[in-house]
Structure 1
Amino acid sequence: MIKIIAVLCSLSSPANCHEQIVTTSDFADISVQSCLMGAPQLAEWMNQHPAERLAAWRCVIGQQNGRGI
């Protein structure tokens, strides 16, 4: 499974950023290449969260490694 971890910043407070796993069932069959290119599902996810700005994202394959996410 590929997980997308996004760095999201609040539009009302741009310095207030956090990381969040944004992988949902919409991302179940996403490829590594699609993830690295900014999966179309990510844009749809952002449309559903208009109070935040996508500052960055990364793709993680498999289980989380315990780095605080």
Structure 2
Amino acid sequence: MIKIIAVLCSLSSPANCHEQTVTTSDFAEVSMQACLMGAPQLAEWMKQHPAERLAAWRCVIGKQDGRGV
């Protein structure tokens, strides 16, 4: 399983950033190549987070351990 870990920064406080695992049914079968290319679904997912900016993302194979930045 491939997970996408997004680094989100607050628009009101740009230095305030955190990591979040992207969880949506659109990413159920994302390939590593699609993940590395930014997975078009990521833009749709960001619409649910209007107060934040996507600063970065990474692709992780297997289970994420849940630790933050």
TM-score after normalising by structure 2 = 0.90
Determine the structure 1 residue equivalent to 2:63.
63
Percent identity over paired residues: 84
Question: What pairs with 1:34-49 in structure 2 (closer than 5 Å)?
Answer: 34-49=34-49
> In 2, distance between residues paired with 1:31 and 1:55?
21
Please state how far the C-alpha of 1:40 moved relative to its aligned partner. 0.8
Please state how far the C-alpha of 1:37 moved relative to its aligned partner. 0.3
Please state how far the C-alpha of 1:26 moved relative to its aligned partner. 1.1
> In 2, distance between residues paired with 1:63 and 1:29?
15
RMSD between superposed Cα atoms in Å:
1.3
> In 2, distance between residues paired with 1:58 and 1:44?
17
Q: Point out where structure 2 has 5 or more consecutive residues left out of the alignment.
A: none
4+ residue segments displaced more than 4 Å? none
- Matching of residue 54 in structure 1 with residue 47 in structure 2: no
Q: Point out where structure 1 has 5 or more consecutive residues left out of the alignment.
A: none
